[in-house]
């Protein structure tokens, strides 16, 4: 088993369980590779997550937490070496050019093994948290199509940082399932981003968390998987777990979905190429 994206309650207030609990759970499920990818600190109070606002967390607290996280992740990586490959990374926030610069600073400051490049905000407003904020984000852009257009432009800016893994490609769809992306004016931007990821060897994650949130498939949906196949982009597996209980769930569902959509293998950041058909047999 492999996952390129995880969070723990020790360093993320909307997650549960210690970082070591996450590792132990992955070990119990015979994980070969687990990437530790806590959220990056935020630069401004207005970008704090709701639970961080409730606990009066400051920007300085986030920086300290991130620093503590890096040290603990390194300790666990050394402690469990030989039993599981732990890669130490983080999930970036493509909120604005300032955040992309901050990502570069973090990459220079810490010796990370990898990072997941993600977009969770448009015009600084969260697009995956709740309907109210989603509507605010949409209104700030002047409509749904414009919101999607902004989202995929922010994602394109994140891709310029060369993330190891591109996070939940079509997260923007979570709260607007009715939008017909493929037949919209935004579609060329989706194709552009897939093509860029393919050419820059950025792995596109197949993120099982969408299934947890009620989708029948992981991120991204099949129209995008079709483009991934067309341009030969590489995919990797991520459970985006926020508690040890979420590690390893819905993996078979995601793999069957990939096979149905013409993807026959997945990749790891460590360069492994795994046949999905063969892997599914070992899971039974």
Identify which of 3, 19, 23, 21 has the alpha carbon closest to the alpha carbon of residue 11: 19
Q: Map residue 185 onto helix, strand or coil.
A: coil
Total residues at interface with Zn ion (CB under 5 A) = 2
Measured from the CB atom, the residue of 115 and 276 that comes closer to Zn ion is 115
**Token pair in block for residue 242:** 């926020």
What is 210-278 written as a DSSP string? HHHTT-SS-BSPHHHHHHHHHHT--EEEE--BSSGGGTTTTHHHHHHHHHHTT--EEE-TTS-EEEHHH
Q: Is 263 left (phi over 0), alpha (psi -120 to 50) or beta?
A: beta
Q: How far is the CB of 283 from Zn ion (least distance, A)?
A: 25
Q: How far is the CB of 242 from Zn ion (least distance, A)?
A: 6
Q: How far is the CB of 158 from Zn ion (least distance, A)?
A: 12
Handedness of CA 236, 237, 240, 243 (dihedral sign): negative
Report d(CA 183, CA 200) in Å as an integer: 26
Measured from the CB atom, the residue of 65 and 274 that comes closer to Zn ion is 65
Measured from the CB atom, the residue of 52 and 150 that comes closer to Zn ion is 52
Report d(CA 177, CA 144) in Å as an integer: 11
Using CB under 5 A, which of the segments 5-13, 53-61, 75-83, 193-201 binds Zn ion? 5-13
Q: How far is the CB of 167 from Zn ion (least distance, A)?
A: 5
Q: How far is the CB of 209 from Zn ion (least distance, A)?
A: 8
Using CB under 5 A, which of the segments 30-38, 111-119, 148-156, 175-183 binds Zn ion? 111-119
Using CB under 5 A, which of the segments 4-12, 102-110, 211-219, 272-280 binds Zn ion? 4-12
Residues in CB range of 79: below 8 A, 6 or more apart: none
Per the CB < 8 A criterion, the answer to whether 154 and 127 are in contact is: no
Measured from the CB atom, the residue of 34 and 274 that comes closer to Zn ion is 34
Interface characters, 113-142, with Zn ion (x: CB under 5 A): -----x------------------------
Give the nearest residue (CB) to Zn ion: 118
Q: How far is the CB of 192 from Zn ion (least distance, A)?
A: 21
Measured from the CB atom, the residue of 68 and 139 that comes closer to Zn ion is 68
Write out the residues near Zn ion by the rule CB under 5 A: 7, 118
């Amino acid at each position: 088993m492999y996952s390129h994206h995880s969070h723990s309650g020790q360093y993320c207030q909307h997650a549960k369980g210690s970082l070591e609990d996450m590792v132990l759970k992955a070990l119990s499920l015979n994980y070969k590779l687990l990437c530790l990818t806590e959220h990056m600190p935020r630069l401004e109070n207005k970008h704090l997550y709701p639970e961080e606002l409730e606990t009066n967390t400051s920007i300085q607290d986030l920086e300290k937490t991130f620093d503590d996280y890096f040290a603990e992740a390194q300790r666990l990586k050394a402690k469990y070496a030989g039993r599981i490959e732990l890669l130490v990374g983080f999930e970036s926030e493509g909120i604005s050019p300032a955040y992309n610069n901050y990502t570069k600073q973090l990459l220079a400051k810490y010796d990370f093994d990898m990072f997941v490049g993600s977009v969770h905000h448009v015009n600084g407003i969260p697009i995956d948290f709740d309907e109210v904020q989603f509507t605010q984000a949409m209104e700030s852009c002047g409509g749904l199509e414009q919101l999607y257009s902004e989202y995929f432009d922010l994602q394109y800016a994140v891709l310029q940082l060369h993330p190891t893994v591109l996070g939940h490609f079509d997260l923007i769809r979570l709260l607007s399932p009715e939008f017909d992306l493929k037949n919209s004016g935004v579609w060329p931007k989706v194709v552009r981003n897939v093509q860029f990821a393919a050419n820059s060897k950025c792995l596109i994650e197949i993120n099982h968390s969408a299934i947890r949130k009620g989708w029948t498939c992981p991120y991204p949906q099949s129209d995008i998987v079709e483009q991934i196949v067309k341009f030969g982009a590489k995919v990797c597996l991520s459970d985006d777990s926020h508690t040890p209980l979420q590690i390893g769930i819905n993996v078979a569902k995601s793999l069957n979905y990939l096979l149905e959509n013409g993807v026959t293998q997945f990749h790891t950041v460590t360069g492994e190429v795994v046949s999905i058909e063969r892997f599914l047999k070992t899971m039974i």
